[in-house]
Amino acid sequence: MLISLPSASDCKESDVTPESFYFSRRALLGGSVAALTVSALPRWADAADPSPYADVEPGTAPDWFKAKLSDTKWQAVTVKGEAITPFKDATHYNNFYEFGTDKGDPAKSSGSLKTEPWTVVIDGEVGKPGRYALEDFMKPYQLEERIYRLRCVEAWSMVIPWMGFPLSALLKQVEPTSNAKYIRFETLQDPKSMPGQRSDFALIDWPYAEGLRLDEAMNPLAILAVGMYGRELPNQNGAPLRLVVPWKYGFKSAKSIVRISLMSEQPKTTWQTIAASEYGFYANVNPTVDHPRWTQAHERRLPSGLFSPNIRQTEMFNGYGEEVASLYAGMDLRKNY
């Protein structure tokens, strides 16, 4: 999907992060369509410079991932006038409670997570259920780079170049039945490699679960991601497979997915089960609906600091209203938060 015309999701020039935070090889935008340059493409053949993004730590991508890079659609979706968040910030400031509750815990504690082999179960209201090795699960799909805003319910935000494929492509392939109205995502439960799941103080009844309405899942912006910053996903960012739904708060984007189920009834999701008054099923970014303990009218864009907090106004649907507002026509978005 190429966004070729100016839309409501485009950012104002005045919102741009100072140029000192830009990457040396950041994407160049020209006209109404993102203009790709040779220097903006990953140079995987050159071991000395394996990524187009600054400060990216080298990964250990599986063979199936490397094989897809030559056909990857780079910058399939971009956001104009925004700096991409530095890789170090995006990978060292995370919520992934399976590895701990502090922002730095996932980067410190996720090294023990084993992502090979990995299987994904597709079940429920589908014509083609099954259990798939990840390399087989990924075979039909071309990777696309999607540069999306990420807005956390805690009122901080980033801009991240994900690599994945449209969730709708998977759904079309597995053939939802006429009873399918929702989709549920279940994440890995492995206390041996996930210390947060061993904690006696954890509020979460593992495994972590999230869900979408089927029409939300079919929206072209919703993707399943297997990479970011031109490389495979780091463990702390949800390796090897995660959901990305850019118009919703970040907790909706389930990490380290092992099961995808089509359902006739709305699934119970983790944070809604823990605190329904604070974390609704829809979790659409909405600056007019505050969290009970803080305002959602503003957000802190990373990187930021004490003397450069980088505060900006929150956009409805995180700036993707033109693409997704029709999904909620006639709904009271204060009630259905």
Give the pLDDT band (50/70/90) at residue 102. very high
Instruction: Determine, yes or no, domain membership for 6.
Output: no
Count of domains observed in the chain: 1
Q: Is residue 336 part of a domain?
A: no
The reply to whether 255 falls in a domain is yes
Residue 335 falls within a domain, yes or no?
Answer: no
40 domain residue, yes or no: yes
Q: Judge whether 186 lies within some domain.
A: yes
In this structure, what CATH number is given to the domain that contains residue 110?
3.90.420.10
Question: How far is CA 302 from each of CA 18, 43, 118, 151, rounded to the nearest angstrom?
Answer: 12, 27, 32, 11
Segment 165-220, tens digit of pLDDT: 999 999 999 999 999 999 999 999 999 999 999 987 778 999 999 999 999 999 99
Query: Which residues make Cβ contacts (< 8 Å) with residue 133, sequence separation at least 6?
Result: 117, 118, 119
- 2 located within any domain: no
Pairing state between β 223-228 and 242-244: antiparallel
> Which CA distances in Å does 20 have to 26, 36, 90, 161, 294?
12, 22, 17, 19, 30
Structure tokens at 12: 């104002």
Q: Whole-angstrom Cα distance, residue 245 to residue 226?
A: 14
Backbone dihedral angles phi then psi of residue 224, each to the nearest 5 degrees: -100, 125
Evaluate whether residue 7 is within a structural domain: no
Q: Structural domain of residue 46, as residue ranges?
A: 13-328
Residue 308: its pLDDT value, please? 84
pLDDT tens, residue by residue, 294-325: 999 999 999 998 888 899 999 999 999 999 99
- Which amino acid is residue 86, in one-letter code? P
Cβ distance 104 to 41 under 8 Å? Answer: no
pTM for the full predicted model: 0.86
